[in-house]
A and B are shown apart, each in its own frame.
Chain A
Amino acid sequence: MKQYAIRRILQIIPTIIGVSIVLFGVFAMAPGNFVDSKQTISDARKAELKEKFGLDKPVHERYFIWAKNTIQGDLGMSTQHQQPVTTVMNRYMWNSFIIAAIVLVLSWTIAIFVGVYSAIRQYSFFDGIITFLVFALMSLPSFFIGLLAIKFFAVDMKWAPVGGMYTTGSNATGMAKVWDLVQHMWLPVSVLTALSVGGLTRYFRTSMLEVVRQDYIRTARAKGVKPSTVIFKHALRNALLPAITLLGMEIPALFSGAMITEQVFNWPGIGKINLAALQSRDYFLLMGFTMFLAALTLVGNFVSDMLYRIADPRVRMK
């Protein structure tokens, strides 16, 4: 086990180097750069700035400079914010994380319960209703439903603020601050959960349906084990196995920010910052943030592989 873990960790290193080369190449090859896009400065000034930012050097040289600095922990300066990349990421990323984490927990919990229930009552009236709701939620256009929710709950009913994370100008601390956050968060969290719960429910339902048809479930039932024990102890644990992979893939999504939360609900997240970085060719911020997500993806992969080995003895045998 330990040996396997070490081997896997060592494998991550060449992968991450490969990813960084590809990303750097792609960003560098995209036409334009953050100096040429300034339209009001003279060519002489452009040349000066390019020299200062090292844009006059060939791509491979720029890559090695970037790689050297990154290894030393210096991700460079964001050209848009004129601040270190880590500072900019730190400013916005945690806001994205908090809402994504809550939505993740909520949507998974709901999806597991609803999915399992509709699986064991397959084709029942309840299952029909769920199937209907799930497809309805999945087919909703996200921006439209977000704006509609704001119109109903914030503008007309005034049950929630229109957007943002805290009340503008509020100096609340402690519990009052948390309460303020909850009031701002419930609407976007509800909408995001509604949008993501659909697919997950189908996933757990299918997975559960497959498991309850297995021989060992029939055996357990035949032995006279209590139906609830059969479902929650024997079946559910096995049905959740494939979900480990899914969970591993959710890790980078926790930090990447969501456009709908930020554009519609005015949440101060990092998605918008990343998009703006792409549009303005803010290379260091782009590289820093994308590499961070790439690293999280690899870590997520690693973690889910490890969890598999813990949870499923069959994998360990191979």
Chain B
Amino acid sequence: MKKRLLTVLSLVLAFSLVLTACGGGDSAEGNKTPDSGQTDSGKETTGEGELVTEGVIPAPDASLNPEAAVNRKDTAILGITDPSGIFNPLYAESTYDVYLVESIFAQLLTINKDGTFSPFMADYKVSDDNKTFTFTLKDAKFSDGKPVTAEDVAFTITALYDKDYDGPSDVMQYAPLVGAKEYKEGKATSIAGIKVIDPKTIEFTNTEVKVLALNVFGGTGILPKHVYGAAYKQGNMSGMKDLFAKPVGAGAYKLEKYLPGQEVRLVANENYFMGAPKIKNLIYKTTTEETRMQLLQTGETDFDDPSVSKDQMEEIKNIGFLDSVLNPTNGYGYIAFNNKDPKFADKKVRQALTFGLDRKQIVDTVYQGYADVVNIPQSKVSWAYTDEVEKYEFNLDKAKTLLDEAGWKVGADGIREKDGKKFKINFSATTPNVVNEAIIPIAQKNYKDLGIEFVADQMDFNAMLDKYNKGNYDMLFLAAGLTPDPQDSEGTFRTGGSQNKTGYSNPKVDELLKKSGSTLDVEERKGIFKEIYQQINEDLPMMFVYQRRDLFTINHRIQGFDISPYRRFTNDLATIQIQ
């Protein structure tokens, strides 16, 4: 009996220990209350507790900066998710590899805050028929001291069209150069559409007008032919992969050491054509979501991109010495309708389902104010954006009317039916996913009020994508990325477009997309895109849900970043400095 008692006692004790451990956690959080009280008193500067969801929020008290960071005089440590070690402009795919590529390699053009291009390592002009692009190189050197020539540019771009190229770029789609097909098939030893005129001038000629071609020619980091030349012979690019961890480029920094999973060390490129960077050492350190904030707090990193939430922003404010930059994300979340499914074929049904879903509630649940409900597939900072569209504000009555008009009548059991078929939606939901966790309960409730049964199937991301690609779904949630040029959405909304998995088809939109793709005049394209977005907003091939925020948190001691949704922080690496 006594023994039994002892066991029970120890169990109880064990429990209480766990509880005190939790309590310890709480009191640890509680320790911060005085701090937050102090910052609260300084709250007047940021208005009456109004949520700032965009722009730069400066550090409230830079003097709190920890010694670890202050003592690091010639080194900046940027925390990022682990890159895969693909330090090559032709092959880098993840955002984090791209950061490294943009630090080490330089491109011919640079992107402006509004998403348009400006000359960078080269000036450019476009021919009257919009098919030929001529680039004139400035005096620039690679980090090994050799000059950047038109031959290097030709070499780099040619490699993208090789038969053996298996990187992420799909250049034939965006920049079909004259003779590229022949080169790919091995019928020619060079691409006829790439012409080196002199060591400083190069010309690219496409077979048709493509507005996204500038992305390819101007947005690809230039490889030095004298370094990579031996690794690439027509039809065999395997040598390139051996050079991923030994990159040489003309960018602001050069690679010193790569420690997989830990850090990538860069040193200033003294030969950088815009002038040597002001910070001598730049280190990209691998961080995880779990401890990004702690690393910033102890000064072990100077920069990171933690997820956005109210708590996180509060924490940043409490830490005191961190500047934050909040930008609208280049992308949007949407709920796709299977347009080929008879029940979604009528646009009135799609409109009803949009009116009948409280999107604002979903978005606020997930992003706590750090996201907007959207109604077109475009970022609000784009030149192509328009808000002269239907807002589809939550309205159950309107939704009911539309469903009635579409012929879906409420049946005896309260579920709508048409031609003897009940209205039931199977929602393919990836898990774990915070957005789906909000969509499912809210949609179930809202749609029940409309007389529609909403059932969620939980699955892994790839399984969902597989259903999407095969058109084997009713509705599903996905997020799409946006590029600076709106033409990119052609694949999603054109009839038979490569990313058009909703089965959407509207000849008017097809025609307009074609028109916007064959002119480079921004003013003219603005008008065309307004029409496109208005039509898409009316047709709703998919329900547009939100545009969220990206957060960059930067130690106040590093100054000079000018980050905007289109212009990445890597553009500022040469000019940032340590205070």
A247 within 8 A of B: no
Identify the 6 closest CB pairs spanning chains A and B, nearest first.
A268-B261, A32-B462, A31-B466, A132-B10, A42-B498, A135-B14
B283 within 8 A of A: yes
Quick one: closest B residue to A155, CB to CB?
B294
> If the complex has contacts A131-B7, A169-B263, are A83 and B244 also in contact, measured as CB distance less than 8 A?
yes
For A147, the chain B residues whose CB sits under 8 A away are 290-291
For A83, the chain B residues whose CB sits under 8 A away are 85, 241, 244
> If the complex has contacts A45-B172, A92-B261, A268-B259, are A152 and B288 also in contact, measured as CB distance less than 8 A?
no
B265 within 8 A of A: yes
A132 contacts B14, C-beta separation under 8 Å: yes
Q: How far is the CB of B567 from chain A (nearest CB, A)?
A: 20
For B13, the chain A residues whose CB sits under 8 A away are 132, 136
The distance in angstroms between the C-alpha atoms of A95 and B480, with both chains bound, is 36
B3 within 8 A of A: yes
B10 contacts A135, C-beta separation under 8 Å: yes
A279 contacts B172, C-beta separation under 8 Å: no
For B85, the chain A residues whose CB sits under 8 A away are 81, 83, 91
Q: Which residues of A in the span 224-268 have a Cβ within 8 Å of any Cβ on B?
A: 262-268
Q: Which residues of B in the span 72-90 have a Cβ within 8 Å of any Cβ on A?
A: 75, 77, 82, 84-86
Q: How far is the CB of A73 from chain B (nearest CB, A)?
A: 17
The distance in angstroms between the C-alpha atoms of A164 and B295, with both chains bound, is 10
For B230, the chain A residues whose CB sits under 8 A away are none
As a 0/1 sequence over residues 453 to 494 of chain B, the CB contacts with chain A under 8 angstroms (1 = contact) are 000000011110111010000000000110000001001000
Quick one: closest A residue to B261, CB to CB?
A268
Q: Which residues of A in the span 156-188 have a Cβ within 8 Å of any Cβ on B?
A: 156, 158, 161-166, 168-169
Interface size class of A (residues with CB under 8 A): 35 or more
The distance in angstroms between the C-alpha atoms of A38 and B499, with both chains bound, is 10
The distance in angstroms between the C-alpha atoms of A49 and B241, with both chains bound, is 17
B358 within 8 A of A: no
A140 contacts B291, C-beta separation under 8 Å: no
9 contacts between A and B (CB under 8 A): A39-B480, A40-B481, A42-B172, A44-B172, A131-B10, A132-B10, A161-B300, A268-B262, A269-B261
B465 contacts A155, C-beta separation under 8 Å: no
Q: Which residues of B in the span 120-158 have a Cβ within 8 Å of any Cβ on A?
A: none
A82 within 8 A of B: yes
Interface-forming stretch among B17-25, B101-109, B384-392, B551-559?
A: B17-25
B498 contacts A168, C-beta separation under 8 Å: no
> If the complex has contacts A40-B499, A82-B84, are A169 and B281 also in contact, measured as CB distance less than 8 A?
yes
Q: How far is the CB of B321 from chain A (nearest CB, A)?
A: 14
A266 contacts B21, C-beta separation under 8 Å: no
* Residue from B166, B480, B488 within 8 A of A53 (CB atoms): B166
B18 contacts A140, C-beta separation under 8 Å: yes
The distance in angstroms between the C-alpha atoms of A144 and B19, with both chains bound, is 12
A212 within 8 A of B: no
A100 within 8 A of B: no
Apart from A31-B466, A32-B463, A168-B300, 16 more pairs, CB < 8 Å: A31-B467, A36-B466, A39-B499, A45-B173, A52-B166, A82-B86, A91-B260, A129-B10, A136-B13, A151-B28, A164-B285, A169-B77, A169-B263, A169-B283, A266-B295, A272-B82
* Residue from B260, B263, B291, B469 within 8 A of A36 (CB atoms): B469
* Residue from B11, B91, B288, B460 within 8 A of A135 (CB atoms): B11
For B291, the chain A residues whose CB sits under 8 A away are 147, 150, 162-163, 264-266
Q: How far is the CB of A53 from chain B (nearest CB, A)?
A: 7
For B491, the chain A residues whose CB sits under 8 A away are 40, 42
For A158, the chain B residues whose CB sits under 8 A away are 298
* Residue from B283, B298, B467 within 8 A of A154 (CB atoms): B298
A128 within 8 A of B: yes
> If the complex has contacts A91-B261, A140-B21, are A281 and B28 also in contact, measured as CB distance less than 8 A?
no
A299 within 8 A of B: no
* Residue from A37, A91, A139 within 8 A of B18 (CB atoms): A139
For B164, the chain A residues whose CB sits under 8 A away are 52
A279 contacts B462, C-beta separation under 8 Å: yes
B466 contacts A168, C-beta separation under 8 Å: no
A139 contacts B14, C-beta separation under 8 Å: yes
A162 contacts B298, C-beta separation under 8 Å: yes
The distance in angstroms between the C-alpha atoms of A4 and B298, with both chains bound, is 58
The distance in angstroms between the C-alpha atoms of A265 and B6, with both chains bound, is 37
Q: Which residues of A contact B (CB under 8 A)?
A: 30-33, 36-45, 49, 52-53, 77, 80-83, 91-92, 95, 123, 128-129, 131-133, 135-136, 139-140, 143-145, 147-148, 150-152, 154-156, 158, 161-166, 168-169, 262-269, 272-273, 279, 281
B324 within 8 A of A: no
Q: How far is the CB of A132 from chain B (nearest CB, A)?
A: 4
Interface size class of B (residues with CB under 8 A): 35 or more
Quick one: closest B residue to A163, CB to CB?
B291
B30 within 8 A of A: no
The distance in angstroms between the C-alpha atoms of A162 and B261, with both chains bound, is 15
Q: How far is the CB of A29 from chain B (nearest CB, A)?
A: 11
> If the complex has contacts A82-B244, A279-B461, are A143 and B290 also in contact, measured as CB distance less than 8 A?
yes
Quick one: closest B residue to A134, CB to CB?
B14
Q: How far is the CB of B112 from chain A (nearest CB, A)?
A: 22
Most buried by A among B77, B91, B262: B262
A164 contacts B290, C-beta separation under 8 Å: no
B286 within 8 A of A: yes
The distance in angstroms between the C-alpha atoms of A40 and B173, with both chains bound, is 10
Q: How far is the CB of B360 from chain A (nearest CB, A)?
A: 27
Q: Which residues of B in the span 1-50 have a Cβ within 8 Å of any Cβ on A?
A: 3, 6-7, 9-11, 13-15, 17-18, 21, 24-25, 28
The distance in angstroms between the C-alpha atoms of A107 and B301, with both chains bound, is 33
* Residue from A30, A36, A45, A140 within 8 A of B170 (CB atoms): A45
Quick one: closest B residue to A167, CB to CB?
B300
The distance in angstroms between the C-alpha atoms of A36 and B462, with both chains bound, is 9
B173 contacts A41, C-beta separation under 8 Å: yes
Most buried by B among A32, A267, A279: A32
Quick one: closest A residue to B167, CB to CB?
A82
B461 contacts A82, C-beta separation under 8 Å: no
A268 contacts B286, C-beta separation under 8 Å: yes
Most buried by A among B14, B297, B298: B14
For A166, the chain B residues whose CB sits under 8 A away are 259, 262
For A82, the chain B residues whose CB sits under 8 A away are 84, 86, 91, 241, 244
B168 within 8 A of A: yes
Q: How far is the CB of A255 from chain B (nearest CB, A)?
A: 15
For B263, the chain A residues whose CB sits under 8 A away are 168-169
The distance in angstroms between the C-alpha atoms of A36 and B491, with both chains bound, is 15
B295 contacts A136, C-beta separation under 8 Å: no
B287 within 8 A of A: yes
For A263, the chain B residues whose CB sits under 8 A away are 288-290
* Residue from A30, A41, A148, A155 within 8 A of B168 (CB atoms): A41
For A265, the chain B residues whose CB sits under 8 A away are 291
The distance in angstroms between the C-alpha atoms of A299 and B264, with both chains bound, is 36
